[in-house]
Amino acid sequence: MKILFLNSMHKSFDDRTFYHHAQYLSELENKVFIYSTRDNESDIYNNIKIISNDIHELSIFIQIKTLYKLTKEIKPQIIVCDSPISVFASFRYRLESNCKIIYDITEWIPSKKNITNVKFIKKFIKIIVLFFTNQLASLISTKLMFGEYYKSLPFVYLFFKPHKIISYYPDIKYINFSPYCVPKKQLNLLYSGNFNEEKGFDKVLELSEQLAHLHPDKTICLKLIGDFVCEQDKQLFLKFEKQKKDNLQVSVSSFKSFIEFCNEISDTHIFIDLRKNDFENTHCLPIKLFYYMACGRPVVYSALKAIKKTIDINNFGYIGEPTEIDYFALKISEYFNKPQLYTTHCQKALELSHEQFCWDKIKQEFKDFILN
């Protein structure tokens, strides 16, 4: 089969598209192509042909026209789309061919980021337009694929067509696993994501400071991977750095490539994510959670509905409201006093990852859904 991944929201080397879906389909001896409007790539990687141009700042009509032209040149039998823009371009091609369009819905449309800094009336209009645009894209697609349960609502009730939830579970081969060791004199914490209040960055800093205060005889190392969203967030962090405890060490680095990220997280003792528990966040399943589990390490997370529906974090870490800093600090402190508890949580995280939450457990479902 000739399969084209048409992305207008994700880059060519997106972990879901390239490292899992495209690679697996290529291994099954399909001809696989990826096109993204968010980077400039033109090469063959692991038998996957990538031809991408950074045109996402151009008008929607130009993007659709460009995507349609490329699709017509490739003549795929299956097109996997990540957005309404790519669906509309694919549908135009489908009118003159017999291809299948699979809409892979992994993002909220509309979402908070779509209406940031938009005034009230324009915000309302934009929400309505984006909502109905997304519904139309779903209507004209052949099949619907979802990254998680809540993203599948209300599509599965509105459109009676083949659909499947294929979650974000990682292929274990990408994880640079290192044997866990109980933290004694040093505790390595890691947060990865946007450095802003909405993602709970301030709560991560607060928790790290609290741990440094509770354990003056130990070194608390906080590794931060991501980027600042605005100057105000950066200034707040610089202020924090000047006032932090001497036994709290902080390292900062920008977002990594997929492989670099998998290598970077291996020396962590505990992973932290305390994003705001608002309506959108609570219905989003954090992708990195499954990578942290695959490392065989405890996690500390906000009590999001999407997480609680999928897995019981209490088996290998702690979950609660992001404002409960004292609670999380005390629970993490128990790992110093109860080394067996830390070992048990590490073992359980690894066990669950290998037995339930890894790519090997869902790749057959993915293949059957895409190719049949």
Q: What is the pLDDT of residues 143-183, one digit of tens each?
A: 999 999 999 998 998 998 999 999 999 999 999 888 889 99
CATH number of domain containing 252: 3.40.50.2000
Are both 156 and 93 inside the same structural domain?
yes
Residue 245 pLDDT grade (very low, low, confident, very high; cuts 50, 70, 90):
very high
Q: What is the pLDDT of residues 281-295, one digit of tens each?
A: 999 999 999 999 999
Which one is predicted more confidently, 113 or 34? 34
- Mean pLDDT, residues 298-320 taken together: 98
Are both 152 and 225 inside the same structural domain?
no
Query: Distances in Å between the alpha carbon of 179 and those of 141, 197, 218, 272, 355?
Result: 45, 33, 21, 19, 18
Are both 159 and 223 inside the same structural domain?
no
Are both 295 and 307 inside the same structural domain?
yes
Are both 193 and 272 inside the same structural domain?
yes
Give the pLDDT of residue 117. Answer: 76
Q: Which domain holds residue 326?
A: 173-355
- Mean pLDDT, residues 12-19 taken together: 98
Give the pLDDT of residue 122. Answer: 87
| Domain count across the chain | 2
Are both 85 and 194 inside the same structural domain?
no
Give the pLDDT of residue 177. Answer: 87
Give the pLDDT of residue 215. Answer: 97
Q: Note if the bond before 170 is cis, omega within 30 degrees.
A: no
Residue 39, pLDDT > 90, answer yes
Give the pLDDT of residue 114. Answer: 86
CB 348 within 8 A of CB 315: yes
- Its pTM stands at 0.95
Give the pLDDT of residue 352. Answer: 98
Give the pLDDT of residue 121. Answer: 87
Distance CA 108, CA 111 (A): 5
Are both 344 and 364 inside the same structural domain?
no
CB 141 within 8 A of CB 162: no
Are both 201 and 82 inside the same structural domain?
no
Q: What is the pLDDT of residues 79-130, one digit of tens each?
A: 999 999 999 999 999 999 999 999 999 999 999 888 877 788 888 999 999 9
Are both 258 and 321 inside the same structural domain?
yes
Q: What is the pLDDT of residues 181-222, one digit of tens each?
A: 999 999 999 999 999 999 999 999 999 999 999 999 999 999
What the block records as the tokens of 2 is: 């000739």
Per cent of the chain over pLDDT 90 is: 93
Average pLDDT of the residues of the chain: 96
Give the pLDDT of residue 180. Answer: 87
What the block records as the tokens of 67 is: 């995507």
- Mean pLDDT, residues 230-239 taken together: 94
State the chain's maximal CA–CA distance in angstroms: 70
Contacts of 316 (CB under 8 A, 6+ apart): 293, 298, 299, 345, 346, 348, 349, 352
Are both 127 and 244 inside the same structural domain?
no
